[in-house]
């Protein structure tokens, strides 16, 4: 579930960054203004690229953390299952031993 949420959030950021970085620049007839717009657009694209890279890095870190937590939970569950199986086996052995003791006591009572 954590991976799904992280992926969806990363997708939203990536989509918004993609949409914002691919907008058409304003049409201009002035040469100096066009140069300034291009420089501003380049700077904006660089900032968006950096933000996008940072978002991807953060999402990857979150995925790694979620995978680590998932592995830890799986290991803990396996350990609990093994312990439960061991307790069940011991209870079964105790029950069998108690039945054997009861049968022996009954046999001794029948001899007397």
Do 92 and 112 belong to one domain?
yes
Q: Which domain holds residue 81?
A: 70-112
Of the ranges 15-24, 31-40, 67-76, the best mean pLDDT one: 67-76
The answer to whether residue 74 is domain-embedded is: yes
Q: How many CA atoms lie within 13 A of 95 on its CB side?
A: 6
Q: What percent of the chain has pLDDT over 90?
A: 47
Unique residue bearing structure tokens 């307790």 = 87
The answer to whether residue 24 is domain-embedded is: no
Do 83 and 102 belong to one domain?
yes
Unique residue bearing structure tokens 């009954």 = 106
DSSP structure string for 16-39: HHHHHHTPPPPP-S-HHHHHHHHH
- Tell me the whole-structure pTM to 2 decimals: 0.42
Show the tokens assigned to 103.
């049968």
The answer to whether residue 99 is domain-embedded is: yes
**Mean pLDDT confidence for 17-43:** 60
Show the tokens assigned to 57.
């890095």
pLDDT at residue 34 in the model: 47
pLDDT at residue 53 in the model: 92
Locate the DSSP E strands across the chain.
none
Q: What is the pLDDT of residues 72-106, one digit of tens each?
A: 999 999 999 999 999 999 999 999 999 999 988 88
């Amino acid at each position: 579930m954590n991976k799904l949420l992280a992926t969806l959030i990363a997708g939203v950021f990536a989509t918004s960054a993609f949409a914002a970085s691919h907008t058409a620049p304003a049409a201009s007839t002035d040469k100096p203004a066009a140069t300034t717009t291009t420089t501003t657009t380049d700077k904006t694209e660089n900032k968006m690229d950096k933000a996008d890279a940072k978002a991807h890095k953060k999402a990857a870190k979150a995925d790694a953390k979620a995978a680590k937590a998932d592995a830890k939970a799986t290991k803990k569950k396996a350990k609990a299952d093994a312990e439960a199986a061991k307790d069940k086996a011991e209870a079964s052995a105790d029950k069998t031993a108690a039945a054997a003791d009861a049968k022996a006591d009954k046999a001794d009572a029948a001899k007397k």
